[in-house]
Amino acid sequence: MSDKVRLGIIGTGGMGQGHCTQIPDLEEAELTCICDIDPETCKSVSEKYGVRGLTNYKELIDSGLAEAVVIATPHYFHPPIGIYALRAGLHVLSEKPIAVTIGAAEELVAAARESGKIFTVMFQFRTEPYFRRAQEIIASGELGEIYRTLLIYTDFRTQTYYNSGDWRATWVGEGGGVLINQAPHALDQFVALGGLPHEVIGFTRTRAHDIEVEDSASAICRYENGAHGYLTASTDEYPGTFLHEIAGEKGKLVYRDKKLYFAGVTPDVSECARTNLEPWGGPKAEMKEVELTPCETGHRAVLRNFLRTILGKEDLLIDGSVATGSLELSNAIYLSARQNRKVHIPLDREEIDEFFADLRAKSVPKSGVKKIIQTDPQHKREA
């Protein structure tokens, strides 16, 4: 086996070009080809990197030029392109979200399983030391049974951002707003660390932007064990907040601004409530910042791990199948919000397909869009 993976990138807009810039820093990869449906973008990117450019993803996959692909097209295309690539024997890294609907995501996961190829999803938060450490703390049992979760993920986008592509912020092109585009990383964290709720009451709102999808979304959740959870995500708040709390019987975990805090609680919270003889008593607990071990993070770390797994040098950090949980939660919030009712997870797959098909059918195509291709400056800094 060669020590470099021959890599193709499909969809070379803002994010795809961001990935192109990372490749020279990755000794495990050789960029051999790119694909973009837009001929001008295809030409300029292929010339810039001196690689073959194709405008049809099937031609790239069938060309034999790549043994692995990164998919960075608008979301609806992730499953069909991923499935085609896996069935052709290529390894696949899909951008987030894995898909728009839970059914489409599961088809992609099934294709990966059947192919035996490596399949991962760009959930770069999972590479962060705080995320890895939080997973360890939870797995070790130090938190005890979880009884409450909270996620606040508020961010900001301008109307110019939404106007920069005809697919953006439309039901037909994107399949939602903040829940499907900006929040998937945080929702993945919410589910990976706190579990997948089984009942959801969702609310969505479009407040500060002229778009047909939501720029803010909130939900109240209940978990199988009775625990409560609440979350909110938006692109209409400034300055933004990223706060995640998980309260357990034996401890409390708080994440804020890339810092992780943990308080071990003795005795267990419920036990103390029952047995402490002081009216204003309470358990012993001290919230301390958790020491974190620095490591490579972000897109580059996900890409490198994908490549090193293909080369047999590492285990896969993010199995693509993990991406279904947070997508099911986001599908549930949309369904609940638009039908004004509590919904149960697991969702009825057919109902969700019909629900999104209806939204797509009623979607109003955008006019007068001035396409702007720009990599999020946050990701440029990584390079």
Binding range to ligand NAD, per CB under 6 A, among 12-20, 254-262, 287-295, 317-325:
12-20
Binding-site member from 8, 11, 82, 195 for ligand NAD (CB under 6 A): 11
Indicate the pairing of strand 119-121 with strand 91-94.
Answer: parallel
Do 5 and 315 meet the contact criterion of CB atoms below 8 Å apart? no
> What is Dmax (Cα atoms) for the chain?
75
Binding-site member from 4, 21, 30, 38 for ligand NAD (CB under 6 A): 38
> Count residues contacting ligand NAD (CB under 6 A)?
26
Q: Which residues contact 20 (CB under 8 A, 6 or more apart)?
A: 9, 12, 31, 34, 45, 48, 49
Amino acid at 310: I
181 near ligand NAD, judged by CB under 6 A: yes
Binding-site member from 85, 112, 122, 193 for ligand NAD (CB under 6 A): 122
Binding-site member from 22, 32, 46, 73 for ligand NAD (CB under 6 A): 73
| The CA-based dihedral angle spanning residues 235, 239, 245, 251, taken in that order and rounded to the nearest 10 degrees | 170
Closer by beta carbon to ligand NAD, 12 or else 321: 12
Produce one character per residue of 240-269: b if its CB has 16 or more CB atoms within 10 Å, e if not. eebebbbbbbbbbbbbeeeebebbbbeebb
Show the binding pattern over residues 78-117: x = contacts ligand NAD (CB under 6 A), - = does not: -----------------xx---------------------
Residues in 123-162 that interact with ligand NAD by CB under 6 A: 124
Q: Write the DSSP string, 288-325.
A: EEPP------HHHHHHHHHHHHHTTSS--SS-GGGHHH
Binding range to ligand NAD, per CB under 6 A, among 34-42, 155-163, 262-270, 332-340:
34-42
Binding range to ligand NAD, per CB under 6 A, among 69-77, 103-111, 138-146, 306-314:
69-77
Site residues for ligand NAD per CB under 6 A: 10-16, 35-38, 41, 57, 72-75, 77, 95-96, 122, 124, 165, 181, 373, 376
